A and B are shown apart, each in its own frame.
Chain A
Amino acid sequence: MTQSKALGPDPLKLYTYSDLPIGATAIGIPPEKRKTGLWRYMRPAFLERIPPCQEGCPLGNWIDRFNAGVTDKELDQAWWALRLENPFPGVCGRVCYHPCQESCNRKDMEGALSIQAMERHLADHFFHKKSKPLRLGKNQGKKTAVVGSGPAGLSCAYFLALMGYDVTVFEAQADPGGMLSQVIPRYRLPKEVLVRDLENIREAGVEIRVNSPIGKDLTLGRLQENGYQAIFISAGAPLSRKLSMEGVTLDGVYWGVEFLREVNTGKPTALNGDVVVVGGGNVAIDVALTALRLGAGSVRIASLESRAEMPAHSWEQDDALEEGVSFHNGWGPKRILGEDGNVVGIELKRCISVFDKEGRFAPVYDEAVTETFKAEAVIMAIGQATDLSFLEGSGIQIEPGETIQVDPVTLQTTVAEIFAGGDSIDQPRSVSEAIGSGKRAAIAMDHFLRGDDLAEIVQKGALARTMREHLDLDVNPAPRCRKAATLEDLNLAYCSSLPPHQPRKLSPVDRAGNFKEINIGMAPEEITEEAKRCLSCGVCRMCGNCYLFCPDGAVQLDSSTDRYAIDYDYCKGCGICQNECPAGAIVVEVEGVG
C-alpha cells in the first residue's frame, strides 16, 4: 500500500474496502457471523417423491431420468437410464400396454405423456449404433440358469449378467423371445426390433441355448448337479385355453395362440371367405387383424363383453375398426356348424351378463336368443394356459390355477434355489409385468446367492424393485419418501398447458395384405416437444426456483454434487422454496420435530 490509511482510499483501487479508513464504513466485513438460521421454526428440506408414472410401470422404468435426457437432448444419458432398467426398450416402445401413461399426472389435464413413444424413439435412435454393454458388478463366479427365453426369462438373465453372474438361458424352441418372437404379430413388433434388443441382451453376457427344453432329457435336477446355484423358471403360458363345444374339432377351427404361432414361424396359413373370431381380448384383435392380412374376406369378432367391458385396449379396438373388423358384442359361442368335416358357420347365443356382483367372470346366457353367421374359419381366442408338466417331481408347488406357487415379494418357489416369474405365475399377463418379475427375481437371487437372509430383508421392506435402488445408483437425494407425487404436490403455476402429440399410423389402405408396422412413431422434434410436457412430478429438475427465490441466499449449488443444498445457518424457514418448487420435491417440517 502506497498511501496511509488516514489519507483515505487510493482512488485507483476505489473498491478495495480493506484500504478504506477505519470507521469510514463497515463494508467488506462479511456478515457470516450472524447466523439468522436461529430465527427458524419451520425447516425446509429436499425430499423427492416417486413420479406416479414410475409407480405405475410394472418394471419400474426410470422414466423421469430418460425423459429428462430426451428433453435436454442428452440421448446417451437417456439411453443409459433406460437400459439400466429395461432390457427390451425396442419391444416395450412398441407393444407394452403402457400402464405408466394411465397414472401420468397430465392425464386429466390435456392427456398423458406418450412415454412409450419416448422409449421407442430412444431404441430407434440407437438401433444402428453400437452401445457399450452396461457392467454394474464384478464377476461373481457363480452359475445361474433360466428356463424359457420370453421377456421374463431374458429380463432375469440380463440383470443377473449385469450383476456379474454367469447365466445360461434354456429355450425349448428354435427362436428366442417367447411370445415376442412366436406370436405377437409383426405389424406390431417387427422382427428386427426384437432381434436388436436380443443382441444387446446377449452382449450383456447372456448365453441363450435354443432347442433345449427343460424336462425329460435335461431335468432341473441335472441343472443343479451341473453347478447352477440358482434357477429362474419362466415357461410362459404357451397354450390356448380350450373350450369343449359342438364342432370344435372341425377343419377350419383354429386356436388363437397356435394360429398366431404358425403364422409367425412361417407356416403357410391362407384364409379366405368369412372368418369369425371368438374372444374379447387383445389376442382376439391380433387374430382378427392377422386373418385379414392372410386373405380373409370379412372378419367378425364375437365377444361376451360389451365394447367398454372388453379386455382389449381401446386403441387396439380402434385399429380393428379402422381395418373393417366388425364387433358383435354380447354374444357367446353355442356351437360351430360343419359340413363334411369343414366349418361352414357358427351359432352364437346371447350373453346377458359377463361378471357377477363381485366382478368375477361368470357369464349368464339366454340360450333362446341366437344368431348364426356363415364362416369358412372360426378362430377361438379365449385365453392362454400354462404347461407345467415338466416340473413334475421337482418339488415345486403348483397353484390350483395351474401357475407356479411363489412368494409374492421374492418370487421364490417352494424350492429355495428356484425362483419363477412371468406368465407362469399368477400375475397380469403382459410384457412389462414379465420383465418386472424377472428383474425382481434377479434382485432376490442376488441376495440369495450372497447368502443374505431374504426373509429379514423383506420384513424390513428393504428388497429393491429396481436396479438403481438395488445398486444404489441414484445420484439424487435418495427417495426416502416412498409416496408418489400427486397433482396437489406440484405447483401448477409453473405448468403451462401443452397438448399431447400423437404417433402417426399407416393408413388402413397401406396396411392391407401386408405385415408392415402400423405405428410409424413420432418425428424427433415432436418427441422433444412431447418430453417437455413432463411435469417432473416429485423429482428435482434443477429449475433453480429455490435458489432464485430464497431471500436469504440460503439455497446454493453444492459444487460437489451439482445439486442445490440448504444452508441452515442462514435459512430463516420462510418456506418459499417449498411453495415455489414446481415438482413437489421440497417439504417443510416444524423445526425440532422428527
Chain B
Amino acid sequence: MRNLADTLSRSEIFRSGHALCPGCPGGMIFRWITKALGKDSILSMGATCLALPTGIYPSSVEIPSIYIAMAPAPAAVSGISAAIKVLKRKGRIREDRKINVFAISGDGSSGDIGMASLSGAAERDDDGIYFCFDNEAYMNTGIQRSGLTPQFSWTTSTLKGKVEKKKDLPRIMAAHDIPYVATVSVGYPEDFISKIEKARDMGPGFKYFHIHAPCPTGWRFPESKTIEVARLAVETGFWTLYEVDHGSTRITYQPPKLRPVMDYLQLQGRFEGLSDGNVRELQRGIHEKWEHQITLTPE
C-alpha cells in the first residue's frame, strides 16, 4: 500500500534526541516541515517551546537556523530572504537555486508579542513561509494565557477559565491579502503536507500556516492522546481546516458529521471546570462559525 509515509522523504532533517516533552506535536511538525521543504532551507526560530531542539547544544535541526527573540521571527524571514535576493544578484548564489525560508513561532509570539512584526512581513509580502505553532498559550514559560487561548480554558493565569474569546489569527492574516493562508492540524498529516508542498511550490511571497497543536502538558491530557485530541478538534468543528489561496477560500476537510464539542472538551483537563452553559456557548459558537465559513466555500 502506497501512502504518505512512503511518498515523504525518509531522511530525518529534524533529528531524534531533542528535549521536547513526550507526545509534543512540535516533534511531528518539525519532522514533516523539514521533510517537505528539504535541506535547502533556512529557519527563523522564535524563542518558544520549539526553540528547545534548535537552541540546546547540539541542535536537532540540520539546517541553518537563527534562534531569535519572540517578536522578530517574521522580521528574520524578511531579512534572510532579502539577503538571498542580494546574494543572487551579486552572483554569489545561483539564480535558479530555490532556498526555502521559513519561521516557526508560538501563538503568543505570533498573535500577541510579535503581531506587528508578523503583520509587517505580510504587508511587505516578503518571501517565506511562517508557521504559527498554536498550542493556545505561552507554554514555554509555564502555560500563561495568550490571545489565542480559547474561551473558558484554564491556564496558570486564568485559573477560573479565560473570559475572552480566541483571537482569529488566520483570518487576520488572510486580510493581509498574501498569496496563501492555511489552517492545518497535526491530526491530518495528508492535508498538512499537501498544503506545505503547495506553498513551497508557489512563487515568492509571504505564506502563513496556522497549526492547531494540542499540548499534552499544557492542556492536561495524556501524552498518547495528542493526535486524538487534534482529530476531535476538527471532527467537532472546533478547528477548521481551510486554505485561502490567492483570495479564494476553500474548506479542505469537511467532517462527515460534526460531533458534539463535548467529545473534544472532555479529554482535556483545561476544560474540566466548564459549566453546561459554557459548553452550550462553545457549541453555539461552532455552529455560527460553520454557517459563516461554509458560505465562504466556493463549490
Task: Check if A and B associate.
Answer: yes
Instruction: List, in ascending order, chain A residues with CB within 8 A of B8's CB.
Output: 548
- Asked if A544 and B6 make an inter-chain contact with CB atoms under 8 angstroms apart, the answer reads yes
Instruction: List, in ascending order, chain B residues with CB within 8 A of A578's CB.
Output: 224
- Asked if B3 and A572 make an inter-chain contact with CB atoms under 8 angstroms apart, the answer reads no
Instruction: List, in ascending order, chain B residues with CB within 8 A of A554's CB.
Output: 16
Q: Which residue of B lies closest to A34 (CB)?
A: B17
How far does the Cβ of B259 sit from chain A's closest Cβ, in whole Å? 11
Per-residue contact bits, chain B 193-232, to A (CB 8 Å; 1 contact, 0 not): 0000000000000000000000010000011111110010
How far does the Cβ of A77 sit from chain B's closest Cβ, in whole Å? 13
Q: Which residue of B lies closest to A567 (CB)?
A: B16
- Asked if A549 and B28 make an inter-chain contact with CB atoms under 8 angstroms apart, the answer reads yes
Instruction: List, in ascending order, chain B residues with CB within 8 A of A544's CB.
Output: 3-6
Per-residue contact bits, chain A 496-507, to B (CB 8 Å; 1 contact, 0 not): 000000000000
- Asked if B25 and A542 make an inter-chain contact with CB atoms under 8 angstroms apart, the answer reads no
- Asked if B63 and A576 make an inter-chain contact with CB atoms under 8 angstroms apart, the answer reads no
- Asked if B227 and A576 make an inter-chain contact with CB atoms under 8 angstroms apart, the answer reads yes
> At the interface, yes or no: A359 with Cβ under 8 Å from chain B?
no
Of the stretches B52-60, B100-108, B117-125, B174-182, the one at the interface is B52-60
Of the stretches A23-31, A149-157, A170-178, A338-346, the one at the interface is A23-31
Give CA–CA (A579, B26) in the complex, Å. 18
- Asked if B17 and A36 make an inter-chain contact with CB atoms under 8 angstroms apart, the answer reads yes
> At the interface, yes or no: A575 with Cβ under 8 Å from chain B?
yes
Instruction: List, in ascending order, chain B residues with CB within 8 A of A551's CB.
Output: 20, 22-28, 31, 226
Give CA–CA (A493, B187) in the complex, Å. 11
Instruction: List, in ascending order, chain B residues with CB within 8 A of A27's CB.
Output: 59, 61-65
- Asked if B19 and A36 make an inter-chain contact with CB atoms under 8 angstroms apart, the answer reads yes
- Asked if B19 and A552 make an inter-chain contact with CB atoms under 8 angstroms apart, the answer reads no
> At the interface, yes or no: B289 with Cβ under 8 Å from chain A?
no
How far does the Cβ of A563 sit from chain B's closest Cβ, in whole Å? 12
Per-residue contact bits, chain A 5-32, to B (CB 8 Å; 1 contact, 0 not): 0000001101101000000011111111
Q: Which residues of A contact B (CB under 8 A)?
A: 11-12, 14-15, 17, 25-36, 39-40, 68, 71-72, 493, 541-545, 547-554, 556-557, 567, 569-570, 572-576, 578-580, 588
Give CA–CA (A557, B6) in the complex, Å. 10
> At the interface, yes or no: B92 with Cβ under 8 Å from chain A?
yes
Give CA–CA (A507, B57) in the complex, Å. 75
Instruction: List, in ascending order, chain B residues with CB within 8 A of A12's CB.
Output: 92
Give CA–CA (A575, B222) in the complex, Å. 9
Q: Which residue of A lies closest to B228 (CB)?
A: A579
- Asked if B5 and A31 make an inter-chain contact with CB atoms under 8 angstroms apart, the answer reads no
- Asked if B226 and A576 make an inter-chain contact with CB atoms under 8 angstroms apart, the answer reads yes
> At the interface, yes or no: B159 with Cβ under 8 Å from chain A?
no
Give CA–CA (A40, B123) in the complex, Å. 45
Q: Which residue of B lies closest to A494 (CB)?
A: B231
> At the interface, yes or no: B15 with Cβ under 8 Å from chain A?
yes
Give CA–CA (A496, B28) in the complex, Å. 24
Given contacts A544-B6, A551-B27, A557-B10, whether A31 and B18 have CB atoms under 8 Å apart is yes
Give CA–CA (A545, B3) in the complex, Å. 10
CB-contact partner of A574 in B16, B61, B226, under 8 A: B226
11 residue pairs A–B, Cβ–Cβ below 8 Å: A14-B93, A15-B39, A25-B64, A33-B17, A34-B17, A36-B17, A551-B226, A567-B16, A576-B23, A576-B226, A580-B227
- Asked if B16 and A31 make an inter-chain contact with CB atoms under 8 angstroms apart, the answer reads yes
Instruction: List, in ascending order, chain B residues with CB within 8 A of A567's CB.
Output: 16
- Asked if A29 and B22 make an inter-chain contact with CB atoms under 8 angstroms apart, the answer reads no
- Asked if A553 and B224 make an inter-chain contact with CB atoms under 8 angstroms apart, the answer reads no
Instruction: List, in ascending order, chain B residues with CB within 8 A of A553's CB.
Output: 12, 14-16, 27, 31
> At the interface, yes or no: B296 with Cβ under 8 Å from chain A?
no
How far does the Cβ of B142 sit from chain A's closest Cβ, in whole Å? 20
- Asked if A31 and B15 make an inter-chain contact with CB atoms under 8 angstroms apart, the answer reads yes
Give CA–CA (A543, B4) in the complex, Å. 8
Give CA–CA (A570, B186) in the complex, Å. 21
Give CA–CA (A17, B40) in the complex, Å. 13
How far does the Cβ of B239 sit from chain A's closest Cβ, in whole Å? 15
- Asked if B60 and A31 make an inter-chain contact with CB atoms under 8 angstroms apart, the answer reads yes
Q: Which residue of A lies closest to B5 (CB)?
A: A544
Give CA–CA (A574, B32) in the complex, Å. 18
> At the interface, yes or no: B260 with Cβ under 8 Å from chain A?
no
Q: Which residue of B lies closest to A493 (CB)?
A: B231
- Top-6 shortest CB links A-B: A544-B5, A551-B27, A575-B224, A574-B23, A570-B16, A31-B17
